[in-house]
Chains A and B, each alone.
Chain A
Amino acid sequence: MQTVNKTKKQPSRFKSVGLFIILSVLIIALSVISLSLGDINIPPLDIITSFIGIGDPDLTSILVEFRLPRILLAILTGIGLAVSGVVVQSIMRNPLASPDTLGLSSGSGLAAVAITILLPLASPSVLSVAAFAGGSLVFVIVYLLAYKKGVEPIRFALIGVAVSAFCSSGIHLLISKANPNVNAALIWLSGSLWGRTWDQLIGLLPWVIILLPLIWLLAARLDLIHLGDEVARGLGARVELIRLVLLASAVAMTAAVVSVVGTIGFVGLIIPHVAKRLVGPRHKKLIPTAALLGALFVLAADLIGRGVAPPIEIPAGLIIGIIGAPYFLYLLWRESKK
């Protein structure tokens, strides 16, 4: 079935460079709009003067302390989830695999919530490690449950979704017990960027900075693995090792994102497909495209959530859920025609 993509003409180098530029410009444009919108609307000119350091100090503090970290966090969230999605879909050779349907997000979320409640003073790094452990554990469970003389993509997705629902109930239960502030819990559950600061951003940044280049370096191997284990081994790739390293990186990146912004669904499932349509299946192009698209998607969702009915904010995760579910159905439908 992958041959379908292979036979398609590869977009020219020129085209994909153009695409990167367009996506980057869009991201910057959305960031600027996002910086200027809020309780106080700040015109672009003031944004520029603030960043040069000659603007109104009050506006500068709003921009730097509240809006900038939030935007950067949206970008990192999108990158992390989308790239994890590309990696797991290629490794599992399952177009329905994603951080959500493999249970990575909900497992990480459950562990993060449990740690937050048991050890309220735990540092962000403890939280990330716990989230990583939770995500890995749930992934192993899903894999074992779905395994039966091989792993069929659709059954895998079904079991992953069921286990995710189980973990979500657990998260719900823990939060409703421990957190007297139901609204805050609701916002975390639905994945929001509201009220995030530099602390969270700094907690997430190292993960992305280390793992993203690592994944990109292994991109060529990912192309090989995608062709099938036999072929890849024949061409001299150490399949098991590469697979493990890549999978661990994807879990770690998802876990880091989830422990900061909560469980945002569908990004890791959908964005890889869109990226593949735009630049074809070669991972050297696919991974950066997915990263940019993911960033754009989460930024846009956050912006829509803030802009639809101010001062009320709709968590980005909910906006993504409303857009993402129909697309998931579309993917199922397309997958079924093969």
Chain B
Amino acid sequence: MKAVHGLSKRNRSPLRIIAIFLAVIILLLVSMFLSISIGSIHISFGTIKQALLDFDGSKEQSIIQTVRLPRLLVTAFVGANLAVAGALMQALTRNPLASPGIFGINAGASAAMVFLTVLVPGVSMIGGVLGAFLGGAFAAVIVYVMSSLIKGGDSDVKLALTGVAIQGMLMSLTQTLLIFNESKTEGVMFWLTGSVIGRDWGHVHVLLPFSVVGLLIAFGLGRASSLLSLGDDVARGLGQRVFAIRAFTAVVVIVLAGVSVAIAGPIGFVGLVVPHMVRYLIGVDYRVVLPMSALLGASLLLLADVLSRFITYPYETPVGAVTALLGTPYFIYLARRKKTERKA
């Protein structure tokens, strides 16, 4: 119907794609370096190299090993997960406003986590992750069904408004639950804004398997996503089993976003913004868009996290607050731009 995904745009030349890939990899390396070296103690490049290659147990090296490195891994994988989940959703729904946040996955997973924390005090981290999957899936189904019940109008905007309303309700529920468990409020408040502060190897061990498997499967969905983003009829005509792919992709999305929320809280806008940037840079071939989204999502969340350490130095600001402040203007831009395209 309309060139939501820039489908009218030509795919970029291979040379350009390779160049951009290299640039993004360099960006990722730089962000990783900044993420390790900047903080209440600044750490030099030499020390970082030593800590990784030849650990001698000094104070700085211990900080790297026990604090900065797990935090870096958590941030990078959460960024990659959310960006890839967003790219998959935008391809699947052909809706430029789609993202784990708008579909209520973040809010649903958060509500489930808080629910578990309050009702099952000793819940394990894996239990929390499974709860987050269920909560996220539940919210996504509700948002999807509700927004399709609203007849006529603009499907993108309907989805967004439905998503916002359900998010509002889930947030109210979550905060109500929190009031019943005040002892944990302070930590959970921070978590609810989306935060990677204090994440340790335990978190990494839970996050990593889900992320790696989920991301690899997602990359494998590249061709199917490209076809689906052309529309159901085209995809079906080209021999795709549309429903099966949809359902399978939805599961992948919920695993990627759910585990991220369980570990780092609901970090918004990464899943919305990164896929747009990637399509702008390299076109709409999802075999390339998905891995590129992972790299760029990781880099940007790492940079946002570094930025968050400065905003109210020496105190730390939850990275979710930073992405929210940076992401809203872009969201508004998208809501406005759509209108022009339709009129044009």
Seen from chain A, the residues whose Cβ lies within 8 Å of a Cβ on chain B are: 145-146, 148-149, 152, 154-155, 157-159, 161-163, 165-166, 169-170, 172-173, 176-177, 182-183, 186, 190, 265, 309, 312-315, 317-319, 321-322, 324-326, 328-329, 332-333, 336-337
Q: Considering the chains assembled together, what is the distance between the CA atoms of A48 and B312 in angstroms?
A: 53
**9 A-B contact pairs sorted by A residue (CB < 8 Å):** A149-B343, A155-B335, A155-B339, A163-B328, A169-B324, A173-B311, A182-B186, A318-B173, A318-B179
A314 cross-chain contacts in B, Cβ below 8 A: 176, 179
The digit string for B26-61, where 1 denotes a CB below 8 A from any CB of A, is 000000000000000000000000000000000000
Chain A residues with Cβ below 8 Å from B15 are none
B328 touches A165 (CB 8 A): yes
The reply to whether B175 and A183 contact each other, CB–CB distance below 8 Å, is no
Which of B76-84, B146-154, B258-266, B273-281 is near enough to bind chain A? B146-154
Q: In the complex, which residues of chain B have a beta carbon less than 8 angstroms from the beta carbon of A317?
A: 172
- Residues of chain A with a CB closer than 8 A to B312's CB: 177
The A-contacting residues of B in range 164-205, CB under 8 angstroms, are: 164-166, 168-169, 171-173, 175-176, 178-180, 182, 185-186, 189-190, 193
Residues of B within 8 A of A166 (CB): 324-325, 328-329
Complex Cα gap A307–B336 (Å): 44
Report B-chain residues with C-beta under 8 Å of the C-beta of A146: 336
Nearest 4 CB-CB pairings of A with B: A321-B172, A325-B169, A166-B328, A169-B324
Segment from B85-93, B155-163, B210-218 that makes contact with A: B155-163
How far does the alpha carbon of A158 sit from the alpha carbon of B339 in the complex, in Å?
13
> Hey, what's the 0/1 contact readout for B287-315 against A, CB within 8 Å counting as 1?
00000000000000000000000011001
B127 to chain A, nearest CB (A): 25
Enumerate chain B interface residues (CB-CB to A < 8 A). Answer: 146, 149-154, 157-158, 160-162, 164-166, 168-169, 171-173, 175-176, 178-180, 182, 185-186, 189-190, 193, 311-312, 315, 317-318, 321, 324-325, 328-329, 331-332, 335-336, 339-340, 343
Instruction: Evaluate contact between B315 and A322: CB separation under 8 angstroms.
Output: no
A336 touching B151, Cβ below 8 Å: yes
Say whether A154 contacts B157, CB under 8 Å.
Answer: yes
A148's contact among B154, B182, B315, B336, by CB below 8 Å, is which?
B336
Contacts A148-B339, A155-B339; is A186 near B176 (CB within 8 Å)? no
Kindly list chain A residues whose C-beta atoms are within 8 Å of the C-beta of B185: 182-183, 186
Besides A172-B321, A319-B172, 9 other CB < 8 A contacts?
A176-B318, A182-B189, A183-B182, A186-B185, A314-B176, A321-B171, A322-B173, A329-B165, A332-B150
Contact B161 A309 (CB under 8 A): no
Distance in angstroms between the alpha carbons of A314 and B173 in the assembled complex: 10
Residues B332 and A163 in contact, CB atoms below 8 Å apart: yes
Q: Are A170 and B325 in contact (CB under 8 A)?
A: yes
Tell me the complex Cα distance, A186–B164, Å.
20
Once A169-B328, A172-B321, A182-B186 are accepted as A-B contacts, the answer to whether A154 and B154 lie under 8 Å apart by CB is: yes
Given contacts A145-B332, A165-B324, A182-B186, contact A155 B168 (CB under 8 A): no
Min C-beta distance of A181 to chain B, whole Å? 10
In the complex, which residues of chain B have a beta carbon less than 8 angstroms from the beta carbon of A152?
339
Chain B positions within 8 Å of A158 at CB level:
157, 160-161, 164, 335
Could you say which of B153, B160, B165, B335 has the most chain A C-beta atoms within 10 Å of its C-beta?
B165
Q: Give the complex CA separation of A163 and B329 in angstroms.
A: 8
**A-side contacts of B180, CB under 8 Å:** 309, 312
Distance (Å) between the CB of B263 and the closest chain A CB? 20
- Whether the Cβ atoms of A162 and B146 lie closer than 8 Å is no
Who on chain A is nearest to B169 by CB? A325
Is the Cβ of A318 less than 8 Å from the Cβ of B172? yes
One of B153, B190, B317, B328 near A154 (C-beta < 8 A): B153
Contact status A322-B172, CB under 8 Å: yes
Q: How far is the CB of B272 from chain A (nearest CB, A)?
A: 11
B151 touching A332, Cβ below 8 Å? no
Chain B residue contacts of A325, Cβ below 8 A: 165-166, 168-169, 172
Chain B neighbourhood of A332, CB < 8 A: 150, 158, 161-162, 165
B320's nearest neighbour on chain A, judged by CB, is A169
A161 and B161 contacting across the interface, CB-CB below 8 Å: yes
Cα distance A312–B311 in the bound complex, in angstroms: 35
**CB-nearest residue of chain A relative to B182?**
A183
**Do A154 and B168 touch (CB < 8 A)?**
no
Q: A162 near B335 (CB under 8 angstroms)?
A: yes
In the complex the two chains form, what is the Cα distance from A162 to B164 in whole Å? Answer: 9
Cβ-defined contact, B168 with A321, below 8 A: yes
Q: Taking CB as reference atom, which chain B residue is nearest A187?
A: B179
Residue from the list A159, A318, A321, A324 in contact with B336, Cβ < 8 A: A159
Of B162, B175, B178, B321, which one neighbours A329 at CB under 8 angstroms? B162
A332 to chain B, nearest CB (A): 6
How far is the CB of B290 from the nearest CB of chain A, in Å?
27
For A324, the chain B residues whose CB sits under 8 A away are: 168
* Closest CB in chain A relative to B157 CB, distance in Å: 5
Q: How far apart are the CA atoms of A181 and B276 in the complex, in Å?
A: 39
Q: Which of B151, B169, B321 contacts A169 (CB 8 A)?
A: B321
Which B residue's beta carbon lies closest to that of A333? B150
A325 and B335 CA atoms in complex are apart in Å by: 21
- Contact, CB under 8 Å: A329 / B152: no
B332 and A336 contacting across the interface, CB-CB below 8 Å: no
Instruction: Please indicate the chain B residues that have their CB under 8 angstroms from the CB of A326 in the complex.
Output: 165, 169
Contacting residues, chain B, for A319 (C-beta < 8 A): 172, 176
Tell which of B154, B168, B321, B324 has the most Cβ of chain A within 10 Å: B168
- State how many angstroms separate the Cβ of A97 from the closest Cβ of chain B: 13
A307 CA to B273 CA, complexed, in Å: 43
B332 and A322 contacting across the interface, CB-CB below 8 Å: no
Report whether B335 and A159 are in contact in the complex, using a CB–CB cutoff of 8 Å: yes
- The answer for the CA separation of A176 and B152 in the assembled complex, in Å, is 41
Interchain nearest-CB distance for A273 vs B (Å)? 15
Q: A177-B312, A186-B189, A329-B146 given as contacts; is B325 within 8 A of A265 (CB)? A: no
Smallest beta-carbon distance B99→chain A, Å: 13
Contacts of B172 in A (CB 8 A): 190, 317-319, 321-322, 325
Residues of A within 8 A of B149 (CB): 333
In the complex, what residues of A have CB within 8 A of residue B328's CB? 162-163, 165-166, 169
